[in-house]
Chain A
Amino acid sequence: MTQTLTRRQAFEARQRRRATTLAVGSTVAVLVALVVLIPLAPGWEAVKRSFFNAEVFAKTFPGLLNAFVLDVAIFAWCAPLIALLGLAVALMRDIRNPALYPLRLLAILYTDVFRGLPVILVIYLIGFGIPGLGLPRPWNSPYIWGSLALILVYAAYVAEVIRSGIESVHQSQRSAALSLGLSPSDAMRFVVLPQAIRRVVPANMNLFIALQKDVALLSFIGPVEIFRQAGVYKSLMANFTPYVGAAIIFLCLTIPATRYADYLMNRQRKARS
């Protein structure tokens, strides 16, 4: 077998074996150091009791999982609305008709304001402010206004991402569409936009992963989702382990999603080069 390898292949195989050995060795060394060194810290026993309590973990985990359904639900109704509003705002910023100039101005103002504010501040202002108008049920629900806050903030980012995608489509595509006699709006709708949206899928994926996490911020205005539920358990059991449980649940969703977004991004980079 080995004699069929060329000199180059044999050399590269040796290099690969060497790299693998080194990588495994150094990883094991770091893990051993962590396992040995962390328990040596003076507060380790206390931390272990209050953050990594198996009994508390087992007791609270199902309840946390249940509360997480609400996070997923909030995400599920916000995401499509964010995509729609983001697209609308991105298109509004390209309006050239002078009569519709106010729309364009509004879109610019909107993206500036909502990208410039901390999410939690928007959630407070809208989530407490609008129900403060004394609206009747169900219009005073924190679910509605909290979701609106998330939608407004995230659509501003999505709009900017889509706009960058539109600008990345080469001018010659638009020229070709116009030269065939298509109207400028048809050129946008059938030629530029489909290409732009495909290109920004990975970037938007990252935004939606961030949204997944920021749903937890709604807990500050009322909804008992996973973060708030973990807080309730913490108070009941005087133990921080529920927060670790919540973190694990989030990671189970966000890590695969992040990996997938990276995969898409890499595939795109390869396709373009």
Chain B
Amino acid sequence: MVLRLENIQKSFGSNVVLDGIDLEIGKGQMVCLIGASGSGKSTLLRCMNLLEPIDDGAIWLDGQDISEPGLDPQPVRRRIGMVFQSFNLFPHMTAAENVMLAPRRTKGLSRDALNAPVSALFERFGLADRMDHYPDQLSGGQQQRVAIVRALAMEPEVMLFDEITSALDPELVGEVLDVLRALRMQGMTMVLATHEMGFARELADLVCFLDNGRILEAGTPSQIFETPEQDRTKSFLSRVL
């Protein structure tokens, strides 16, 4: 078990966003969170990365309660990578600088020492000729792949993906999904909030349908997509499929 979520509660003011989430994510598993906008998928991922503090419950990473108030979040975030819907590349840095910044500052590695492994990462994701481009010189798909490479450069144990294809033009979605597929094959532990139902169906170990801050239904892709039990799951799927 890599990550275990226990009764996660999170509200913004009087708005309850997460209302008792329990979830276990095993090593090398891919878990997909599906559900309508506002059902709490993004907030759940942000809580797992400690970008949002949870109100109650616990998040266990390899037996350590990382939701302990006052805990230094930095070492945890180095172990849990995150990629965002809007890419969030740093616009004043080249693609390579974007990727090198965190390893340089947190691991004390020099640019020279990073050059080889970072080049290899760019190479692996078909971005070798884009290393010295600035984000605004890249297509959306390329930017998102650089963002993935940036998170991978920290060598995280878990990767969180927050609707990373939702801001892309349809013809660019494929190249980003290919990257996810490659990561899946390498055995990366992944949690995705996604609207790509076909992708979830093809590759997920576990699909969770979120509704009003709860996991209403969870199961294998075939359980969720072919024989959903809850009416709300059925009506959601009938709208998106």
Contacts and interface: CB of A to CB of B under 8 A. Distances in A.
A204 B147 CA distance: 33
Contacts of B32: none
Contacts of B67: none
Interface string A180-216: 1111001000110011001000000000000000000
Nearest to A192: B90
A176 B74 CA distance: 13
Nearest to A180: B102
Contact of A180 (B75, B86, B91, B101): B101
Interface string B97-129: 000011001100000000000000000000000
B92 A172 contact: no
Interface residues of A, number: 17
A194 to B, nearest CB: 5
Nearest to B82: A179
A183 B147 CA distance: 19
A191 B105 CA distance: 12
A175 interface: yes
A190 B84 contact: no
Greatest chain A CB density within 10 A among B81, B89, B102, B106 is at: B102
B150 interface: yes
B74 A179 contact: no
A190 B92 CA distance: 10
Determine the interface band of chain B, counting residues with CB < 8 A from chain A: 20 to 34
A182 B84 contact: no
B88 A194 contact: no
Given A178-B77, A180-B150, A181-B78, A172 B86 contact: yes
Contacts of B17: none
A220 B90 CA distance: 48
Interface in A204-235: none
Interface string B68-86: 0000011101100110101
B74 A183 contact: yes
A15 interface: no
Contact of B92 (A180, A183, A186, A198): A198
Contacts of A173: 88, 90
Interface of B: 46, 49, 51, 73-75, 77-78, 81-82, 84, 86, 88-92, 101-102, 105-106, 147, 150-151, 154
17 contacts: A172-B84, A172-B88, A173-B90, A175-B88, A178-B73, A180-B78, A180-B81, A181-B77, A181-B78, A181-B106, A182-B74, A182-B102, A190-B105, A191-B101, A194-B92, A195-B90, A198-B92
Which 3 A-B pairs rank lowest in CB-CB distance, beginning with the nearest?
Answer: A181-B78, A176-B88, A180-B102
